[in-house]
């Protein structure tokens, strides 16, 4: 099963094929690389501001400031980053439309973008503005955002040849948990992760040969799920054990965790659509 | 040692690294460079990690630079922001360097003769010099301006140089993927000279179609 835009909107094929011959695709095409740079810089601004904002909601990072102060200082950069991503994304997309139309990773990127907007504007920004308190509307946005994020991951999983990009999400999730945990929890968590990495390397480099894809693929998939279970288990334990602080409890922390990962997933899908 | 000999030495080293290191005894056995460049997913994972690290590295250094420009976190002392954010920035930088070195290892000769890669290294050096000047000179009297909403000119200048350097590093990094100035194509003499195309596998061809 593929989930490229062409599978959902087959009647748009002719329109998509002509997009780079009309405004704005035609004008952007000669400067594609320059607009790509704009896309990357916007990603950096959105990523940096979003990471700092959500790490604070997780109870780490710039803890000298309240979430409200973080919101006051960072929200404008979140807006600028997202506006830049959308503007340059539409422009480079119009100049490269046929490639995107046939890509399952692009579908994952678009669903991820929607989830990112919901989790950032519906949950992370309001939660930080209210110093870690969520309104009823934000709780609804949290559920909708998480469901959309899960859908984006499912679409990414279905994108053959691009889905190894999900390792970036697992890696980022692992790093966030390593950064957020402390003391013995961190030592146990990192030791377990290191053991799993060693076991995966032995399985994929010693037990099975480099070209034995029939065994390598299921092995890597099994390890991916193992890492996900280990990381999410540690994240849950940390969120629950750290209790309800002055700026939110386990629910807020879970949402902040998701609000960082959703942008990593969206960016990963964007990068991997170039490889497959 | 004259410049020509030094560059020839570097190129010889890269050729040896790309063709000999990790190569088996057979004539057609691949080197580690060949294996990395032809890997099904590993090269993609390295490249995408290099790009995604921008969110952590460039994203957080921009925030610190913007604070030094007086554009954000105006109530937060610069030292507090630096102490909390720079560990993340440094981790992002380490990730970028590690993946960047591995990517270079996969195609060393292609990058060696690439004008954008060379420019990227120049801007990386400028960014590094700026960091050292900030650390050893500008930051010496930080107590005088740590809490200022709008720090003195020299601090703002350092922040502006930092932002511009990293924007140029990212720009050149992205342009490496394009073949506008690849050796072997008909290029202006200055491009052939700057990339040392004469010593590349594809040689140097000037715009009149003449080999140099």
Contacts of B47 in chain A (CB under 8 A): 271
Look at residues A156, A146, A274, A131 and name the one whose alpha carbon lies nearest to residue A224. Answer: A156
pTM to 2 decimal places: 0.96
| Mean pLDDT to the nearest integer, A101-123 | 98
pLDDT digits (tens, 9 = 90+) for A73-83: 999 999 999 99
Helix (H) or strand (E) holding B187: strand B186-187
- Across the interface, whether the CB atoms of B59 and A46 are under 8 A apart is answered yes
Which of B59, B84, B178 is nearest residue A62 as measured by Cβ atoms? Answer: B84
| Mean pLDDT to the nearest integer, A107-124 | 98
Q: Which two tokens stand for residue A23?
A: 């405004």
Contacts of B85 in chain A (CB under 8 A): 52, 61-62
With vertex at residue B17, the alpha carbon angle to CA B14 and CA B21, rounded to the nearest 5 degrees, is: 170
Contacts of A272 in chain B (CB under 8 A): 44, 48
| Mean pLDDT to the nearest integer, A112-119 | 98
pLDDT digits (tens, 9 = 90+) for A248-263: 789 999 999 999 999 9
Residue B35 has what pLDDT? 93
Residue B83 has what pLDDT? 96
Task: Determine the residue among A30, A39, A48 to mutate to test chain B binding: the one whose Cβ has the most chain B Cβ atoms within 10 Å.
Answer: A48
- Identify which has the larger pLDDT, B188 or B211: B188
Number of C-alpha atoms within 13 angstroms, CB side, residue B161? 18
Residue A246 has what pLDDT? 76
pLDDT digits (tens, 9 = 90+) for B68-83: 999 999 999 999 999 9
- Across the interface, whether the CB atoms of A49 and B59 are under 8 A apart is answered yes
Q: Which residues contact B186 (CB under 8 A, 6 or more apart)?
A: B205, B206, B207, B208, B209
Answer yes or no: are the C-beta atoms of B48 and B129 closer than 8 Å: no
| Mean pLDDT to the nearest integer, B198-208 | 91
Residue B58 has what pLDDT? 98
Look at residues B130, B195, B196, B189 and name the one whose alpha carbon lies nearest to residue B164. Answer: B130
Q: How confident is the model at residue A33 (pLDDT cuts 50, 70, 90)?
A: very high
> Mean pLDDT across chain A, nearest whole number?
96
**Model confidence at B1: pLDDT above 60:** no
Distance (Å) from the C-alpha of residue A275 to the closest C-alpha of chain B?
7
ipTM: 0.95
Of the given ranges (A186-200, A206-220, B167-181), which has the lowest mean pLDDT?
A206-220
| Mean pLDDT to the nearest integer, A213-240 | 95
Residue A2 has what pLDDT? 82
Answer yes or no: are the C-beta atoms of A40 and B51 closer than 8 Å: yes
Q: pLDDT exceeding 90 applies to what percent of chain B? A: 90
| Mean pLDDT to the nearest integer, B52-61 | 97
Residue A166 has what pLDDT? 98
Residue B212 has what pLDDT? 63
- Distance of alpha carbon A30 from alpha carbon A38, whole angstroms: 15
| Mean pLDDT to the nearest integer, A14-27 | 96
Closest B-chain CA to A72: B73
Q: How confident is the model at residue B211 (pLDDT cuts 50, 70, 90)?
A: low
Q: pLDDT exceeding 70 applies to what percent of chain A? A: 100
> Mean pLDDT across chain B, nearest whole number?
94
**Model confidence at B7: pLDDT above 90:** no
Residue B27 has what pLDDT? 86
pLDDT digits (tens, 9 = 90+) for B109-123: 999 999 999 999 999
């Amino acid at each position: 099963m593929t989930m490229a835009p062409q599978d959902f909107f087959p009647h748009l094929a002719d329109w998509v094929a002509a997009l780079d011959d009309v405004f704005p695709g035609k004008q952007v095409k000669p400067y594609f690389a320059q607009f790509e740079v704009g896309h990357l810089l916007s990603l950096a601004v959105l990523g940096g501001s979003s990471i700092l904002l959500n790490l604070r909601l997780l109870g780490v990072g710039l803890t000298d400031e309240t979430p409200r102060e973080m919101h006051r200082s960072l929200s404008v950069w979140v807006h600028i980053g997202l506006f830049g991503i959308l503007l340059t994304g539409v422009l480079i997309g119009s100049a490269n439309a046929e490639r995107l139309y046939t890509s399952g990773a692009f579908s994952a990127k678009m669903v991820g973008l929607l989830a990112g907007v919901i989790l950032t504007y519906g949950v992370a920004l309001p939660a930080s503005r209210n110093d870690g308190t969520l309104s009823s509307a934000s709780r609804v946005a949290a559920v909708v955002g998480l469901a959309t994020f899960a859908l984006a991951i499912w679409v990414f999983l279905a994108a053959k040849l691009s889905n190894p990009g999900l390792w970036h999400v697992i890696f980022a999730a692992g790093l966030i948990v390593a950064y957020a945990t402390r003391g013995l929890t961190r030592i146990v968590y990192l030791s377990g992760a290191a053991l799993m990495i060693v076991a995966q390397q032995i399985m994929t480099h010693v037990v099975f040969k480099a070209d034995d894809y029939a065994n390598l693929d299921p092995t890597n998939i099994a390890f991916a799920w193992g890492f996900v279970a280990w990381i999410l288990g540690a994240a849950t334990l940390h969120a629950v054990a750290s209790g309800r602080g002055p700026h939110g409890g386990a629910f807020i922390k879970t949402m902040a965790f998701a609000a960082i990962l959703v942008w990593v997933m969206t960016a990963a899908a964007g990068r991997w659509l170039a490889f497959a | 040692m004259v410049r020509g000999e030094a560059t020839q030495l570097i190129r010889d080293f890269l050729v040896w690294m790309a063709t000999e290191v990790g190569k088996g005894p057979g004539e057609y056995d691949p080197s580690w460079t060949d294996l990395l460049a032809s890997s099904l997913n590993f090269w993609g994972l390295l490249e995408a990690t290099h790009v995604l690290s921008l969110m952590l590295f460039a994203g957080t250094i921009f925030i610190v630079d913007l604070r030094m420009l007086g554009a954000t976190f105006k109530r937060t002392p610069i030292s507090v922001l630096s102490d909390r954010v720079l560990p993340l920035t440094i981790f992002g930088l380490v990730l970028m360097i590690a993946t960047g070195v591995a990517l270079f290892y996969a195609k060393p000769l292609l990058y060696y003769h690439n004008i954008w890669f060379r420019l990227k290294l120049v801007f990386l050096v400028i960014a590094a010099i700026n960091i050292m000047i900030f650390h050893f000179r500008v930051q010496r009297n930080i107590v005088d301006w740590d809490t200022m909403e709008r720090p003195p000119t020299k601090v703002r200048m350092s922040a502006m140089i930092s932002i511009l350097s990293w924007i140029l590093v990212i720009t050149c990094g992205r342009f490496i993927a394009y073949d506008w100035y690849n050796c072997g194509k008909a290029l202006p003499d200055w491009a052939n000279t700057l990339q040392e195309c004469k010593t590349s596998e594809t040689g140097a061809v000037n715009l009149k179609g003449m080999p140099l």
